[in-house]
Structure 1
Amino acid sequence: MREMKLSRAFTLIEPGPVVLVTTCDAGKSNIMTISWTMVLGFTPIFALTTGSWNYSFAALRRTKECVIAIPTVDMLDRVVGIGTCSGADTDKFAKFGFTAVAGKAVNAPLLAECLANIECKVIDLIPRHDIVVLEGIAAHIDAMRKEKRMLHAVGDGTFIADGRKYDRRKMMAAKLPAGL
């Protein structure tokens, strides 16, 4: 093995999938791209990293709600485009061709084109690390959607798409929650 720069170590374990997070504040909806996400166990509790550098962060803090939308590989250029402009001066729904759909539990819109959407409430903010902890309160999936491969950011401007699935549910049955 050869040594690599420690400053690039995050590219080895950058989490995924890349998600789109929608907010709605004072009647204005926005979308931001987030690649730093994680699940917190088998509960519908999630965390993401964002802060004041993202235009949507103020709405997230003020309204304490959002939608995590899961895009697929066929949306890569739109996902990157959303992450490289600001909602302060861009209507991202119009520019990138996303359809806002009303959710059942939050004011932030679902994204019709995405594979799945999770309506969330903010339950904790950890400012020291710019972590937002979310509780999922409703989930939606487009089971008819043909493209289901999710995107994973490497962190250096490159992406990996999900590939083949390997089923080991029988082997792991004792470790999985009932009904999964």
Structure 2
Amino acid sequence: MKPLPLDKAFTLIERGPVVLVTTHDGHSQNIMTISWTMVLDFAASFAITTGPWNYSYAALLKSKNCVISIPAIDQIDTVVGIGTCSGQQVDKFAKFNLTAVKAKHVSAPLIKECLANIECKVVEVIERYNIVVLEGGAAYYNDARQEKRMIHPVGDGTFIADGRKFDRKIMMRSKLPDGV
């Protein structure tokens, strides 16, 4: 991966892709899938929505850092798989054959197989809304990756990449609300 100018990092999330967020609590690393993201400004300020229901949340609060990794559409089943199992029982890097790459500024690892990675520090947690405000410190884009289409969630177990819908309702049934 090559460095990406930090003032361009917002372009990696502006379109609202599903992201993988890595954490490291000082003992072990983990990955969680997050579909609720937001760019806060043109600088490298972002927000994600997560809370105590995610195993990685405690590590995020403890370490005060994470990496936002942006997968491509060819990783859709990995992304859904990561989101439907817990790091409390599974080493997700091993289970999904992902390579952890040491970050330069945070304890959480980058994911080598992803299209892009953004090293982030936690700057605020808005508990009422389960919003974690992040400030980017470094960003990387994988130019060598052939597939560059990002995954966009619809919210009902289906996904869009460049206008095409990928139905994973059956695979995600355990995580979807009744009636969806």
Pick the TM interval, shorter chain. Answer: 0.7 to 0.9
Q: In the aligned structure 2, how far is the partner of 1:41 from the partner of 1:127?
A: 21
Alpha-carbon shift at residue 69 of structure 1 (Å): 0.1
Listed as ranges, the gaps of 5+ residues in structure 2 are: 1-14, 164-180
Structure 1 distance, partners of 2:75, 2:27, is 26
Structure 1 runs, 4 residues or longer, greater than 2 Å off: none
Structure 1 unaligned residues grouped into runs of 5+:
1-14, 164-180
User: Partner of 1:129 in structure 2?
Assistant: 129
2-side partners of 1:17 and 1:69: how far apart? 10
Q: TM-score, normalised by structure 1?
A: 0.81
Partner Cα separation in structure 1 for residue 150 and residue 26 of structure 2? 31
Equivalent residue for 1:56? 56
- Shift in Å at residue 22 of structure 1? 0.1
Is contact 2:122-2:134 (8 Å) kept?
yes
What TM-score, normalized to structure 2?
0.81
- d(CA) in 2 for partners of 1:19 and 1:59? 17
Query: Which residue is equivalent to 2:89?
Result: 89
Deviations 1:124-166 (A, max 9, x none): 0000000000000001111111110000010000000136xxx
How far the C-alpha of 1:119 sits from its partner, in A, is: 0.2
Deviation at 1:41, TM superposition (A): 1.4
Partner of 1:33: 33
In structure 2, distance between residues paired with 1:26 and 1:121: 15
Partner of 1:43 in structure 2?
43
Query: Helix, strand or coil: the match of 2:88?
Result: coil
- In structure 2, the residue corresponding to 1:93 is in which secondary structure? helix
Q: Work out the CA distance in 2 between the residues paired with 1:136 and 1:92.
A: 24
Q: Deviations over 1:22-46 (max 9, x none)?
A: 0001220000000000101101000
Query: Where do 1:161-172 residues align within 5 Å?
Result: 161-162=161-162
- Deviations along 1:29-70, one digit per CA (max 9) or x if unpaired, are 000000000101101000000000000000001110000000
Provide the identity percentage: 67
Q: Distance in 1 between matches of 2:62 and 2:118?
A: 19
Matched residues in 2 for 1:57 and 1:19: separation?
15
Which residues in structure 2 correspond to 1:5-154 (within 5 Å)? 16-154=16-154
The count of residues paired between Structure 1 and Structure 2 equals 149
- Residues of 2 paired with 1:19 and 1:140: CA distance? 14
- Please tell me the residue identity of whatever aligns with 2:136: G
